[in-house]
Amino acid sequence: MRRKTKLRHMNTPPLPPEIVTIIDAYPMPARTGILTLRNLIFDVARELPEVDTVREVIRWGQPAYMPQKPRVGTSLRLGLHRDAHFALFAHCQTTVIASYAQAFPGWDRLDGNRAILFDDLDQIEPERLQYLIRCALTYHLKEKP
């Protein structure tokens, strides 16, 4: 019998039922990794006053996270990946992954401009990933050339 998802960070909002249904369908290693990344997204968002509130919705069948206010940031999604146990996805038409790869060359396994891939919980490096999450959640606030 599968164990139901209950892992939650102290200051992270409760999982909406529709998100629980999706995450509970994932294999256990992916579930734990996805919940860890979810906690990190909410932790980073709390440090960004310009973001205010993060919406948790379903996009492309995956949990997605974006600022409640329009034109502040772009979405991040969490889910399974064909080449890894789980992944952190960014909108492929943004520079979020490219900026991250430039700041931390060779540190992570990437799927082009779409995702950071993980096979194990130990591959989640909060200090580096906070940079990517900040870039995504404030994407539209960057000064344009």
Residue 124 lies in a domain: yes
Residue 9 lies in a domain: no
Lowest mean pLDDT among 4-13, 15-24, 114-123, 129-138: 4-13
On whether the pTM is more than 0.75, the answer is yes
Model confidence band, residue 6 (pLDDT cutoffs 50, 70, 90): very low
Decide if pLDDT at 7 tops 60.
Answer: no
Residue 21 lies in a domain: yes
Q: Which structural domain range is residue 61 located in?
A: 17-141
Model confidence band, residue 56 (pLDDT cutoffs 50, 70, 90): very high
Q: How many domains does the chain have?
A: 1
Residue 12 lies in a domain: no
Alpha carbon 133 to chain centroid, angstroms: 7
Residue 10 lies in a domain: no
Residue 54 lies in a domain: yes
Residue 116 lies in a domain: yes
Answer with the residue of higher pLDDT: 4 or 25. 25
